[in-house]
């Protein structure tokens, strides 16, 4: 068991690490973050910050020998970096889970191999692969690069076979996956945690709305049937069991028009849709990650009230500093900012949450509060 006052190492230094570090420090742990950047969202609240490339293996060794356990807030850390760290200290989640989830093709093969529901897909290495794949799975379809994609980056919708050559050229030689375009009714996620003894905790089903492929608003509980709720939770439980997972993980789903669940993506870490647990639950997704990687019992995932969250992207700074005071006039609204200096369009700068008597009401309040930032 890793007790308070120990040092938790975190690969990555973004907002997920920041909220993790806040929870860890609340419980008397110290936090050491490792990333190539300086003055980072995590570094600003961590006790120690190493600024080095993930490929700098000497720096990785030094970091791993200075901490009591290692976890992640960013899954695209090279496998070799994780392997080296694991020679010095326990790493959760383990390297093989990262290896699977940091590449869409490996992740989809994992889903297929284990009979988890997913949209049909084909691996794409050549233009012929792409032409054959379009003929087999049909159009529209989505072409996604296999590596390093998030928030819709590296994705292109293919509406007909004549678009194949152009879409293939845009890949610039990167390996890709073609998947069926899903006419979904809604998108939902399940954020869950599993400890080393196999205990499982989840936050139920969260409903997510995206704008330009980026998460915009989440609310919980999701407006889904009891059957969909049960299935989503059971699939998530099976995923973490299959991985023998320790930590917090999120499964993103499409709910199709005929109420079937398809897994879109797995995130082996706390997730943007789970940010609302920070304000709305007895133990947040970040606290669960901490408890799991330290070998402590998981906390309660109970919600104080239904909740909604709205992301604040850099676009909100277009006409200068947002009017924080206006949003904070809503007494049930909480403001989270990640300490990022430069508000670039599409960059996640912070979020707002609101608790209310129903998820629909919380979602309404959060939209109004975000709108009022423009005043």
Which spans of this chain sit near ligand AMP (rule: CB under 6 A)?
119, 142, 149-150, 152, 179, 181-182, 187, 210, 213, 252, 264-265
Longest dimension (CA), the chain: 60
CB closest to ligand AMP, residue no: 182
Which CB, 60 or 239, lies closer to ligand AMP? 239
CA–CA separation, 8 vs 27, rounded Å? 12
CA–CA separation, 101 vs 47, rounded Å? 29
CA–CA separation, 176 vs 43, rounded Å? 34
Check if the beta carbon of residue 270 is closer than 8 Å to that of residue 16. yes
Shortest Å distance, C-beta 79 to ligand AMP:
21
Q: Which of 296, 298, 297 is nearest to 2 (CA)?
A: 296
Shortest Å distance, C-beta 251 to ligand AMP:
11
Shortest Å distance, C-beta 346 to ligand AMP:
13
Please compute Rg for the chain using Cα positions: 20
CA–CA separation, 324 vs 12, rounded Å? 28
Which CB, 160 or 300, lies closer to ligand AMP? 160
CA–CA separation, 161 vs 50, rounded Å? 48
Q: Write down the residue that tokens 């609240």 correspond to.
A: 45
Q: Write down the residue that tokens 């194949």 correspond to.
A: 164
Shortest Å distance, C-beta 331 to ligand AMP:
32
Which CB, 31 or 206, lies closer to ligand AMP? 206
- Strands 7-11, 69-72: parallel, antiparallel or unpaired by DSSP? parallel
Shortest Å distance, C-beta 280 to ligand AMP:
22
Which CB, 27 or 139, lies closer to ligand AMP? 139
Which CB, 88 or 181, lies closer to ligand AMP? 181
Shortest Å distance, C-beta 210 to ligand AMP:
4
Shortest Å distance, C-beta 363 to ligand AMP:
17
Which CB, 182 or 294, lies closer to ligand AMP? 182
Which CB, 119 or 217, lies closer to ligand AMP? 119
CA–CA separation, 87 vs 82, rounded Å? 9
């Amino acid at each position: 068991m890793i007790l308070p006052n120990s040092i938790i190492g975190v690969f990555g230094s973004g907002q997920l690490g920041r909220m993790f570090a806040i929870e860890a420090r609340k419980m008397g742990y110290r936090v050491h973050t490792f990333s190539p950047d300086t003055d980072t969202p995590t570094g600003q609240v961590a006790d120690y910050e190493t600024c080095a490339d993930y490929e700098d293996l000497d720096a990785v060794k030094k970091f791993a020998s200075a901490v009591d356990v290692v976890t992640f807030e960013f899954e695209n850390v090279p496998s070799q970096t994780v392997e080296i760290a694991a020679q010095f200290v326990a790493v959760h989640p383990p390297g093989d889970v990262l290896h699977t989830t940091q590449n869409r093709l490996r992740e989809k093969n994992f889903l297929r191999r284990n009979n988890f529901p997913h949209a049909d897909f084909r691996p794409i290495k050549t233009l012929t692969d792409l032409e054959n794949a379009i003929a087999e799975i049909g159009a529209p379809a989505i072409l996604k690069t296999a590596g390093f994609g998030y928030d819709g980056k590296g994705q292109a919708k293919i509406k007909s076979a004549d678009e194949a050559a152009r879409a293939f050229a845009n890949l610039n030689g990167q390996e890709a996956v073609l998947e069926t375009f899903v006419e979904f009714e809604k998108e939902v996620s399940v954020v869950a945690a599993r400890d080393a003894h196999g205990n499982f905790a989840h936050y139920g089903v969260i409903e997510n709305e995206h704008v330009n492929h980026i998460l915009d608003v989440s609310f919980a509980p999701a407006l889904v049937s009891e059957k969909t709720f049960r299935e989503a939770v059971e699939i998530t439980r099976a995923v973490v069991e299959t991985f023998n997972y320790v930590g917090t993980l999120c499964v993103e789903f499409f709910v199709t028009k005929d109420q079937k669940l398809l897994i879109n993506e797995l995130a082996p870490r706390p997730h943007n849709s789970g940010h609302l647990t920070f304000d709305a639950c007895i133990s947040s997704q970040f606290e669960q990650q901490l408890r799991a990687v330290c070998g402590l019992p998981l906390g309660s995932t109970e919600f104080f009230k239904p909740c909604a969250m709205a992301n604040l992207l850099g676009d909100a700074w277009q006409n200068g500093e947002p009017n924080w005071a206006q949003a904070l006039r809503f007494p049930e609204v909480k403001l989270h900012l990640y300490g990022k200096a430069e508000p670039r369009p599409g960059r996640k700068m912070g979020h707002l949450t609101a608790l209310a008597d129903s998820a629909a009401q919380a979602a309404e309040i959060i939209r109004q509060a975000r709108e009022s930032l423009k005043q």
